[in-house]
Structure 1
């Protein structure tokens, strides 16, 4: 009986500790977001710096080269999104009028077939002003991701500078704890590989989708392509979020069948790279179940804001590899988060 009470007490303490940790992370999200984003940028760019040094570059030149690459790419994204969203905001009133015309045609079509449309028309979701407000809110959330870009870049400068000595310090600090050192190395290697492969696969996917939208005459094709590249890092729901704007614009400007064609071909391109190309290079992936990847996006977005959706998988892998797997008390939870492919393979044999 006493043992049972101790187990219940221990469980309650663990749950309370988890709640406090999550609350603390959410309260510090403004500071944690640029730190974590800088960490993952270092994981992607440090191998480039190492490759340059192997090619004969001095350490300082390799370091400066990587910094310039990141600075140019960051400045490009900020400038591109600022200009694109300004242009988009200028044409939004035209889309309001087009949306009203399309809805009026829909109400007329329903009334001709004896369907009462008054109740539907009273819903907020069918009001053009409401739709535009949601679009602007979405755009504002995206711009908010870049609000701390200066702090993020400053943190990245120091992280990248200390990266060469971090591995040696980690080995010295862990001493003979080889399993934990292996967990750190496994996390770094799997996350670096995942981010690098998703980057170039997402870039190829976005280029093909931009070509498709350009051929079909979709407005802001490059903007939607760049958003497709970014939402490539958001599992499960990122594809649908990136698909909605170009399909809606095509529906308003060119009609239903053109929108359907765009949506189908767009999805085929995405599935080809996600299902055929990416698995050939990602190997076993990040060892997370489909349910966990879906919930991770929701939870990390709630904790860190919009940037949490883009870092959901690397953050979940970090928790799994560095917090749960090294300790016997939490290894069961780490196992439940996994995809279970290895166990399924063993059972099949």
Structure 2
């Protein structure tokens, strides 16, 4: 009885690349569908990794492990609240500073518009409706006009 050697079947490189791209697409699509779960999960993971050394340091100093875990949870909550307060305060300061930069922004937009106009780019003009208005100022017209040829 002779044993025949097993032949390995290797797929062509193009097929492997195509399968890898399809797998990447499926993974990306799955992450997109589960983004409501994946985002908070990664945030919790990052916060836990960042705060976990506090627990280890407390346990080495003789604090019970449960109290170290509570300290980590409190540290995460305090950090999150502090970050939220900083975002709110920064937003309020930005809202207070924006009026000071309104003139600069207007001149920047005017300069950009002039630069584009010098190169032949014109801003879009508002379209005029070919359909007459069905609003007479005080009430809606009783007969709406859906065709462009109808005039009242």
Q: TM-score range by the shorter chain?
A: 0.5 to 0.7
Calculate the aligned-residue CA RMSD, in Å.
Answer: 2.9
1:268-347 alignment, distance < 5 Å:
none
What stretches of structure 1 of length at least 5 have no aligned partner?
108-116, 124-349
| Aligned equivalents of 1:121, 1:53: Cα separation in 2 | 69
Of 27, 42, 55, 2:61 maps to 55
TM-score by length of 2: 0.59
Segments of 5+ residues of structure 2 without an aligned counterpart are 1-8, 120-152
**1:36 counterpart residue number:** 42
Q: Does 1:69 align with 2:75?
A: yes
**How many Å separate the matches in 2 of 1:96 and 1:57?**
56
Q: What is the 5 A alignment of 1:181-192?
A: none
Counterpart Cα distance in 1 of 2:117 and 2:65: 65
CA gap 1:121/1:79 in 2 versus in 1, 3 angstroms: farther
Which residue matches 2:23?
Answer: 17
Report the equivalent of 1:118.
114
Matched length: 109
User: Which has the greater radius of gyration?
Assistant: 2
CA distance 1:42–1:51, change in 2 (3 Å): same
Report SS of the residue matched to 1:19.
helix
Asked whether 1:83 is paired with 2:79, we answer no
What's the CA shift for 1:55?
A: 0.3
Name whichever structure is richer in helix by fraction.
Answer: 1
Determine helix, strand or coil for the equivalent of 1:57: coil
Alpha-carbon contact 2:59-2:65 (below 8 Å) kept: yes
TM-score (norm 1): 0.28
Return closer, same or farther for 1:31/1:121 CA change in 2, 3 Å cut-off: farther
